[in-house]
Amino acid sequence: MKIALIGYGKMGKAIEEIALEKGHEIVLKIDADNQGDFTADNLKKADVAIEFTSPHSAVENIKKCLEFGVPVVSGSTGWLEHWNEVKEKCEDKNGALLYASNYSVGVNIFFELNKYLAKMMQPHQEYDVMLEEIHHTQKKDSPSGTAITLAEGVMQAFKNKKQWVNHISDNVDDLEIISERVDPAPGTHKIKYRSAIDDIEIIHTAHNRKGFAGGAVLAAEFLVGKKGIYSMKEVLGL
Protein backbone atom coordinates (compact mmCIF):
# COMPACT_ATOMS: atom_id res chain seq x y z
CA MET A 1 0.00 0.00 0.00
CA LYS A 2 1.28 3.46 -0.93
CA ILE A 3 0.51 6.11 1.70
CA ALA A 4 0.51 9.90 1.68
CA LEU A 5 1.03 11.43 5.12
CA ILE A 6 -0.75 14.75 5.45
CA GLY A 7 0.80 16.06 8.65
CA TYR A 8 4.29 14.95 9.63
CA GLY A 9 4.48 15.78 13.31
CA LYS A 10 4.89 13.28 16.13
CA MET A 11 1.83 11.31 15.07
CA GLY A 12 2.81 11.33 11.40
CA LYS A 13 6.25 9.98 12.29
CA ALA A 14 4.72 7.26 14.50
CA ILE A 15 2.39 6.26 11.64
CA GLU A 16 5.33 6.16 9.23
CA GLU A 17 7.29 3.84 11.53
CA ILE A 18 4.45 1.34 11.85
CA ALA A 19 3.51 1.54 8.15
CA LEU A 20 7.08 0.77 7.10
CA GLU A 21 7.26 -2.12 9.59
CA LYS A 22 4.16 -3.57 7.91
CA GLY A 23 5.74 -3.32 4.46
CA HIS A 24 3.88 -0.25 3.21
CA GLU A 25 5.48 2.64 1.31
CA ILE A 26 5.32 6.34 2.17
CA VAL A 27 5.16 8.21 -1.16
CA LEU A 28 4.38 11.72 0.13
CA LYS A 29 4.92 13.65 3.36
CA ILE A 30 3.23 17.03 3.77
CA ASP A 31 3.83 19.44 6.65
CA ALA A 32 3.84 23.19 7.17
CA ASP A 33 7.16 23.58 5.34
CA ASN A 34 6.27 21.97 2.00
CA GLN A 35 2.63 22.84 1.28
CA GLY A 36 3.62 23.41 -2.35
CA ASP A 37 4.08 19.65 -2.73
CA PHE A 38 0.40 19.02 -1.82
CA THR A 39 -0.62 18.68 -5.47
CA ALA A 40 -2.91 16.35 -7.40
CA ASP A 41 0.02 14.75 -9.23
CA ASN A 42 1.89 14.00 -6.00
CA LEU A 43 -1.17 12.83 -4.08
CA LYS A 44 -2.36 10.50 -6.84
CA LYS A 45 0.81 8.43 -6.37
CA ALA A 46 -0.80 7.19 -3.13
CA ASP A 47 -3.46 4.53 -2.59
CA VAL A 48 -4.64 6.34 0.54
CA ALA A 49 -3.90 9.47 2.54
CA ILE A 50 -3.63 9.62 6.33
CA GLU A 51 -4.37 13.11 7.65
CA PHE A 52 -3.32 14.17 11.16
CA THR A 53 -3.00 17.94 11.29
CA SER A 54 -4.76 20.65 13.29
CA PRO A 55 -8.37 21.88 13.65
CA HIS A 56 -7.80 24.94 11.46
CA SER A 57 -6.32 23.02 8.50
CA ALA A 58 -8.03 19.62 8.63
CA VAL A 59 -11.17 20.48 6.65
CA GLU A 60 -9.32 21.85 3.63
CA ASN A 61 -6.82 18.99 3.74
CA ILE A 62 -9.59 16.38 3.72
CA LYS A 63 -11.50 18.15 0.96
CA LYS A 64 -8.33 18.36 -1.12
CA CYS A 65 -7.77 14.61 -0.86
CA LEU A 66 -11.37 13.97 -1.86
CA GLU A 67 -11.13 16.45 -4.74
CA PHE A 68 -8.06 14.60 -6.03
CA GLY A 69 -9.82 11.22 -5.77
CA VAL A 70 -7.67 9.75 -2.98
CA PRO A 71 -9.29 7.92 -0.03
CA VAL A 72 -8.51 9.72 3.22
CA VAL A 73 -8.22 8.58 6.82
CA SER A 74 -8.50 11.59 9.14
CA GLY A 75 -7.58 11.70 12.80
CA SER A 76 -7.62 15.47 13.27
CA THR A 77 -10.06 16.67 15.91
CA GLY A 78 -11.78 19.95 16.69
CA TRP A 79 -13.33 20.51 13.23
CA LEU A 80 -16.62 18.60 13.35
CA GLU A 81 -18.77 21.72 13.07
CA HIS A 82 -17.84 21.39 9.37
CA TRP A 83 -18.82 17.69 9.19
CA ASN A 84 -21.77 18.20 6.81
CA GLU A 85 -19.57 20.19 4.44
CA VAL A 86 -16.98 17.40 4.32
CA LYS A 87 -19.68 14.71 4.05
CA GLU A 88 -21.23 16.48 1.05
CA LYS A 89 -17.81 16.77 -0.60
CA CYS A 90 -17.21 13.04 -0.14
CA GLU A 91 -20.60 12.16 -1.60
CA ASP A 92 -20.23 14.63 -4.47
CA LYS A 93 -16.87 13.15 -5.47
CA ASN A 94 -17.94 9.52 -4.81
CA GLY A 95 -14.96 9.38 -2.53
CA ALA A 96 -13.91 7.50 0.59
CA LEU A 97 -13.46 8.96 4.06
CA LEU A 98 -12.78 7.29 7.38
CA TYR A 99 -12.92 9.53 10.43
CA ALA A 100 -12.37 8.69 14.08
CA SER A 101 -11.67 10.89 17.07
CA ASN A 102 -9.29 8.15 18.20
CA TYR A 103 -7.79 5.24 16.21
CA SER A 104 -6.56 3.17 19.15
CA VAL A 105 -8.13 -0.29 19.17
CA GLY A 106 -8.31 -0.11 22.96
CA VAL A 107 -10.05 3.27 22.93
CA ASN A 108 -12.64 2.07 20.43
CA ILE A 109 -13.42 -0.88 22.69
CA PHE A 110 -13.58 1.66 25.53
CA PHE A 111 -16.15 3.68 23.54
CA GLU A 112 -18.43 0.63 23.42
CA LEU A 113 -17.86 -0.16 27.11
CA ASN A 114 -18.75 3.45 27.95
CA LYS A 115 -22.08 3.25 26.10
CA TYR A 116 -22.92 -0.10 27.71
CA LEU A 117 -22.15 1.19 31.20
CA ALA A 118 -24.20 4.35 30.57
CA LYS A 119 -27.24 2.23 29.66
CA MET A 120 -26.80 0.25 32.88
CA MET A 121 -26.42 3.37 35.02
CA GLN A 122 -29.20 5.47 33.53
CA PRO A 123 -32.05 4.06 35.67
CA HIS A 124 -30.08 4.81 38.85
CA GLN A 125 -30.67 8.54 39.17
CA GLU A 126 -28.85 8.72 42.51
CA TYR A 127 -25.62 8.73 40.45
CA ASP A 128 -24.27 11.77 38.65
CA VAL A 129 -21.75 11.38 35.84
CA MET A 130 -18.76 13.44 34.69
CA LEU A 131 -15.68 13.00 32.49
CA GLU A 132 -12.02 13.85 32.91
CA GLU A 133 -9.30 13.91 30.27
CA ILE A 134 -5.55 14.56 30.49
CA HIS A 135 -3.23 15.25 27.53
CA HIS A 136 0.16 16.76 26.76
CA THR A 137 0.48 20.55 26.58
CA GLN A 138 0.93 20.57 22.78
CA LYS A 139 -2.62 19.32 22.18
CA LYS A 140 -4.42 22.17 20.46
CA ASP A 141 -8.09 21.33 21.15
CA SER A 142 -9.90 21.07 24.48
CA PRO A 143 -11.73 18.94 25.33
CA SER A 144 -10.21 16.14 23.29
CA GLY A 145 -12.16 14.62 20.43
CA THR A 146 -12.08 11.35 22.32
CA ALA A 147 -13.69 12.98 25.36
CA ILE A 148 -16.43 14.45 23.16
CA THR A 149 -17.12 11.01 21.65
CA LEU A 150 -17.33 9.55 25.17
CA ALA A 151 -19.67 12.36 26.26
CA GLU A 152 -21.93 11.73 23.28
CA GLY A 153 -22.03 8.04 24.24
CA VAL A 154 -23.13 8.94 27.77
CA MET A 155 -25.77 11.40 26.52
CA GLN A 156 -27.35 8.73 24.31
CA ALA A 157 -28.46 7.06 27.54
CA PHE A 158 -28.75 10.10 29.85
CA LYS A 159 -31.38 12.19 28.03
CA ASN A 160 -31.43 14.63 30.95
CA LYS A 161 -27.91 15.72 29.99
CA LYS A 162 -28.63 18.30 27.30
CA GLN A 163 -25.06 19.30 26.48
CA TRP A 164 -21.44 18.77 27.48
CA VAL A 165 -19.44 21.66 28.91
CA ASN A 166 -15.70 22.01 29.38
CA HIS A 167 -15.85 23.34 32.94
CA ILE A 168 -17.37 22.64 36.35
CA SER A 169 -21.09 23.42 36.21
CA ASP A 170 -23.92 23.80 38.71
CA ASN A 171 -26.48 23.04 35.99
CA VAL A 172 -27.75 19.46 36.30
CA ASP A 173 -28.47 19.46 32.55
CA ASP A 174 -24.75 19.81 31.78
CA LEU A 175 -22.34 16.91 31.37
CA GLU A 176 -18.99 18.11 32.70
CA ILE A 177 -15.75 17.37 30.86
CA ILE A 178 -12.74 18.48 32.90
CA SER A 179 -9.57 18.90 30.83
CA GLU A 180 -5.99 19.01 32.07
CA ARG A 181 -2.81 19.61 30.05
CA VAL A 182 0.44 18.26 31.52
CA ASP A 183 3.62 16.70 30.15
CA PRO A 184 4.26 13.93 29.41
CA ALA A 185 0.74 12.58 28.87
CA PRO A 186 -0.26 10.79 25.64
CA GLY A 187 -3.86 10.61 26.87
CA THR A 188 -6.03 9.52 29.80
CA HIS A 189 -9.85 9.46 29.78
CA LYS A 190 -12.03 8.75 32.78
CA ILE A 191 -15.80 8.43 33.17
CA LYS A 192 -16.93 8.69 36.78
CA TYR A 193 -20.36 7.93 38.27
CA ARG A 194 -20.72 9.44 41.74
CA SER A 195 -23.27 8.92 44.47
CA ALA A 196 -23.43 9.50 48.23
CA ILE A 197 -22.73 5.78 48.66
CA ASP A 198 -19.97 5.01 46.18
CA ASP A 199 -18.17 5.87 42.94
CA ILE A 200 -17.85 3.81 39.77
CA GLU A 201 -15.08 4.67 37.30
CA ILE A 202 -13.81 3.37 33.98
CA ILE A 203 -10.43 4.63 32.75
CA HIS A 204 -8.38 4.34 29.58
CA THR A 205 -4.73 5.39 29.74
CA ALA A 206 -2.50 5.49 26.66
CA HIS A 207 1.16 4.75 27.33
CA ASN A 208 2.43 6.07 23.96
CA ARG A 209 1.29 6.95 20.43
CA LYS A 210 1.74 3.45 18.99
CA GLY A 211 -1.87 2.45 19.63
CA PHE A 212 -3.19 5.50 17.78
CA ALA A 213 -0.72 5.13 14.93
CA GLY A 214 -1.29 1.39 14.53
CA GLY A 215 -5.04 1.88 14.39
CA ALA A 216 -4.66 4.59 11.72
CA VAL A 217 -2.62 2.23 9.53
CA LEU A 218 -5.23 -0.49 10.09
CA ALA A 219 -7.94 1.97 9.04
CA ALA A 220 -5.99 2.88 5.89
CA GLU A 221 -5.67 -0.80 4.97
CA PHE A 222 -9.43 -1.14 5.40
CA LEU A 223 -10.31 1.95 3.32
CA VAL A 224 -8.29 1.20 0.17
CA GLY A 225 -10.63 0.32 -2.69
CA LYS A 226 -13.80 1.42 -0.88
CA LYS A 227 -16.29 4.25 -1.42
CA GLY A 228 -18.35 6.00 1.24
CA ILE A 229 -17.93 7.17 4.82
CA TYR A 230 -16.70 4.84 7.56
CA SER A 231 -15.61 4.78 11.20
CA MET A 232 -13.50 2.49 13.36
CA LYS A 233 -16.66 0.51 14.19
CA GLU A 234 -16.57 -0.91 10.65
CA VAL A 235 -12.80 -1.47 10.77
CA LEU A 236 -13.02 -3.43 14.04
CA GLY A 237 -16.45 -5.02 13.48
CA LEU A 238 -17.86 -3.51 16.67
Active site residues: 135, 139
Cβ atoms within 10 Å of 1's Cβ, excluding its own: 16
For 38, the 3-state DSSP assignment is coil
Largest CA distance in the chain: 63
For residues 64 and 202, give the distance between their C-alpha atoms in angstroms, rounded to a whole number. Answer: 39
- In this structure, are residues 12 and 29 in contact, taking their beta carbons and an 8 Å threshold? yes
* Number of helices followed by number of strands (H, E) in the chain: 8, 11
- In this structure, are residues 135 and 200 in contact, taking their beta carbons and an 8 Å threshold? no
User: Which of 51, 61, 1 lies closest to 27, judged by CA?
Assistant: 1
- In this structure, are residues 154 and 118 in contact, taking their beta carbons and an 8 Å threshold? yes
